[in-house]
Amino acid sequence: MSQPPPSSVHPTTGVVVTGAGSGIGRATCFAVAEAGRPVAAWDINGDGAEETAARCRDDYGVEAIACSVDVRDAASIAAATDATTQALPTIGGVVHAAGVAGPMPLDFLDEESWDAVLDVNLRGEAFVVRALLPALKAANPGSAVVGIASVEAIIGNGMVPAYCSSKSGVLGLTRSMAHRLGVDGIRCNAVCPGAVDTPMLAPLLAVPQARDNIEKRVPLGRVADPMEIATVVRFLLSDDARYVSGAAIVVDGGMTAVL
């Protein structure tokens, strides 16, 4: 039987992470920096992105830049792409962790709030990847895209219809990109986190009864730390996952296994 080609477990090409100013995005920057990969921290909060990049440089000794980026805006994405491709020698990974919740049930939903969620969570990923596609192709072999979806791409939540729809869309986009970009050797996957201790979930977790209710639904009995999601993302970006594409990896402490 033929053997797969030798690989470096962690490529040294740079990784662009959206939503890098906090939460899963920030943890992902730290996780890939720990593996020695350069980082471009993109976030609409430029100060948060710069703090992440500075910690990557100081704590892990890698090249890291920060860009203030609104993933809803094509010009903003283009400017960040130009800055990133000039600063980092190669870009072999993209992680779309930028996301908003938009907690509004269907009977109160309006067009503006629907678009605000879909534009960041779903449309943003498509156009960020499109902008970085030439760099990803040039960095092959080993380029990879990871979208941060959610368990709410799989199960319904009546309070966040736009969020559920956007995250389900991330799974469809992932499969579509895996099909289209596979010919270029670019792998595309998604991660579906459960309850994670991030700024997005912080207001709910601050309510003791709400936190207790969430933890009771999780067989492991606790909420995840962002780094527990980030290390799975790092795996999907690495050559250890070189035959994984079009997949959605659930990281939820077993919650969806027992619903």
Q: List, by residue number, the catalytic residues.
A: 163
Tokens of 217: 């639904």
What is the DSSP annotation of 209-243?
Answer: HHHHHHHHTSTT-SPBPHHHHHHHHHHHHSGGGTT
CA distance 183 to 179: 8
- List beta partners, residue 42: 18, 67
Q: Terminus-to-terminus CA distance in the chain, angstroms?
A: 42
CA distance 24 to 98: 9
Burial of 73 (0-12, 13-18, 19+ CB in 10 A): middle
